Structure formats: C-alpha cells, structure tokens
Amino acid sequence: MKPFADRLDEAAVRSGSLVCVGLDPDTGRMAISDVAEFNRAIVDATSDLVCAYKPQLAFYEALGLDGLRALGETVQHIRDVAPGAVIVGDCKRGDIGSTAAAYARAMFDVWDFDTVTLHAYLGRDSVEPFLERADRGALIVCRTSNPGAVELQDLELTGGGLSGTLYEHTARLASEWNTRGNVGIVVGATYPGEMAALRALHPDMPFLVPGVGAQGGDVAAAARAGVNSDGRGIMISSSRGIIYASEDAGTFANAARQAAETLRDEINRALVGGATTAG
C-alpha cells in the first residue's frame, strides 16, 4: 500500500475536492433508522465529490454491537464504491505502551482506517505504535474549535528553552515525529489565522480541518489558510451540514450530495489558481 500522504494527495487530485464527509449517525436525526443503510446512501451519493470520509467512533460505540457492525459495513462499502477515498477513523486515542499498540492494531488491522485522530498528551510513546505504520496516518489533535480549547491549548510555555503556546509545541512535536511522512495535525476551521501560521511552519504535513458548517468556521478562510504549496494537503470536514442536509427519507441522499457539492465548489472557488483537480 502506498504511503498515507501520497494516497491523500491522489484522492484530492482524483476527486478535485478537499471535502471530507463526517459520518456521525445520530438516530434522532437520521432520515432512516438503519445506520449502515443510511451511510451507504450518503457514500453512494457523494463518492465522486469528496476525498475522504470520517466516521466518528463514539456514535457507533454508543449503539453497542449493532453500531460496531454498522461501522464495519460502512468501511467496507467505502472501499467498494470509493476505493480511492481516504478513511479517517475519528477515535482520538492516546495511551501508553501495550495499550497504544493494541489501539493501533484495532484501528488499522481490524477497522482498516487509513489514518486516525490521536491525543498526544501522554507523549511520543503514546503515539509511536501508530507512527510505525508508514502506510497509515496519525493526525495529532492540535488546535481545536471547541470553546474550552483555550484552557489548555493557549497556555504559554516557559522554561526548558520552550516558547509559544502548547498547541504550537504540539505541532512542533508532530513535525519531529513525522520521519515517515505519515503524521498530520487537526486544526479547527474557526482559527484560520493560527492555521495559516501553522502551515507556514509545517508546509508538508496534512491538516484535518473540522469546524465548518454547523460549527461556523469560514470555509474560504480555512481553505486558503490550510492548503500546502500544491493547493492540497488538507481535508475540510463537514458532518451535520452534509449528512443531515435533509432529514426526509426520500430526499436525504440527494440533499447530502448537493451539500457536499456546494462545499467542494466553495473551497475550490477560494483556491482559484490552485491545483486541486487532475490535470
């Protein structure tokens, strides 16, 4: 299997898109009750419009064994109908030693995710089992969109020769760990200024960018701030704004397609002159 970063770049070129669809099944909002069927319809409707899909594991775990079975069926369906798309396991794992190794086996060998989100608060040994797989990716949570993020991420570092904020240091560590070219960071769309600064310091790392749509991030600003010199290297994720564009059983799939297409086009308009499309 090709290195993760290469496959992400190929997915963006092939689809002409930097959109990542978050597959977060909320049984209170889904247009139909069957999670796997709901996800299949979303994937079928959007497979030519996006570079990635991002199941958030909490939504599946909350449904027990039925939810986990639906997750497995969802991943397999993406492989079948959108084999070029990157699958992001949004699990935000982060533990030490044998536990981290078990998490890595689960995420990559059992669930077959191309890349996963990780917390690095426990240091390098908590993410090392994920870094060892050059064909898979590790997306380190760095600068997030939630209101409470500032309580830790904005802390100023002093002493030990360190400076700047904790999130800036997290990005530096991620860059140091990127010896196999398979490490990226998670940066919220609600902070385009910080994102631009991080991109300038880390020109080659992939960025996963949540926070557009329901969370209110500026799509155009995030796109311009986050892309690399090729006009790619970024996955802009929208979940609720796409999969719940309609909550009607007869229209939800088509509405999801329209929402994904609108987001793709909004991103590409912001990057006029970039290289997000093949040729």
Cα(156)–Cα(167) distance, integer angstroms: 9
- Residue 189, classed as helix, strand or coil, is coil
Percent of the chain scoring above 90 in pLDDT: 87
* pLDDT confidence tier of residue 201, bands split at 50, 70 and 90: very high
Mean pLDDT of 231-257: 96
Residue 91 has pLDDT above 50, yes or no: yes
Cα(124)–Cα(78) distance, integer angstroms: 31
Weakest mean pLDDT among 9-13, 155-159, 165-169:
155-159
Largest CA distance in the chain: 60
Residue 177 has pLDDT above 70, yes or no: yes
Residue 230 has pLDDT above 60, yes or no: yes
For residues 132 and 100, the answer to whether their CB atoms sit within 8 Å is no
In the chain, where are the structural domains located? 4-270
Residue 276 has pLDDT above 50, yes or no: no
Residue 139 has pLDDT above 60, yes or no: yes
For residues 258 and 35, the answer to whether their CB atoms sit within 8 Å is no
Percent of the chain scoring above 70 in pLDDT: 96
Architecture of the CATH domain 4-270: Alpha-Beta Barrel (3.20)
Residue 270: count of CB within 10 angstroms of its CB: 18
Active site positions, annotated: 92
Mean pLDDT of the chain: 94
Residue 273 has pLDDT above 60, yes or no: no
pLDDT (tens digit per residue) in 39-55: 999 999 999 999 999 99
Residue 35 has pLDDT above 90, yes or no: yes
Mean pLDDT of 128-144: 96
pLDDT (tens digit per residue) in 59-78: 999 999 999 999 999 999 99
Q: Where are the alpha helices (DSSP H) in 62-109?
A: 64-81, 97-104
